[in-house]
Amino acid sequence: MFPPRPTEMLHLLLKGEIAPGDFAIDATAGNGHDTVFLAQAVGETGKVLAIDVQPQAISSTAARLENEGLRDRVTLHLGCHADLAKIAGDGRPGVIVFNLGYLPGGDRAVITRTENTLKALTSAVAILRPGGLLAAICYPGHAGGDVEAAAVENLLASIPTHRSARYAIIATEKPAPFLLLTRKNS
């Protein structure tokens, strides 16, 4: 689709950013589309950590990875991304992806929450390796999503040493999802 949706744009932009052997984190595994993309991009020698609070998301992601022959490159973690620093341990990822909101096809009451999201993003900025890239897709169209989206944008905008950007489709009926990108200074 042109112009690409934020999720498509994210993958297009990340293609040039991830090298074989890299370590990447998917902080919201969901149905595994982003995790599969990251696992392909890091190659056979790379590693991905994918996190989600819902068992349904972890099993959906595992099934998608199995199907693609990528399961051995990915550590799946059932838990809250607010604990990102603890979950990642000594790992210093080059890319961290957040795709916020609810699980498509799942329980729409389980959404990412501003407080956890901000904690997770703060940890993500801290553990990202110098020159690394952090991406967040925000969904201002559902209840609470607007507050979360604004808080995420404010947080990223408050890091003056980072180079950050925003991408969205314009002139939509409902508030459109948007992609935020920030690069940690090296």
Ligand X SMILES: C[S@@+](CC[C@H](N)C(=O)[O-])C[C@H]1O[C@@H](n2cnc3c(N)ncnc32)[C@H](O)[C@@H]1O
Question: What does the binding site for ligand X look like in residue numbers (CB under 6 A)?
Answer: 28-34, 51-54, 57, 80-81, 99, 101, 103, 110, 112, 116
Task: Give the position of tokens 């949706």.
Answer: 5
Query: Minimum distance from CB of 163 to ligand X (Å)?
Result: 24
Query: Minimum distance from CB of 51 to ligand X (Å)?
Result: 5
Closer to ligand X by Cβ: residue 46 or 177: 177
Query: Minimum distance from CB of 53 to ligand X (Å)?
Result: 4
Closer to ligand X by Cβ: residue 65 or 103: 103
Closer to ligand X by Cβ: residue 99 or 123: 99
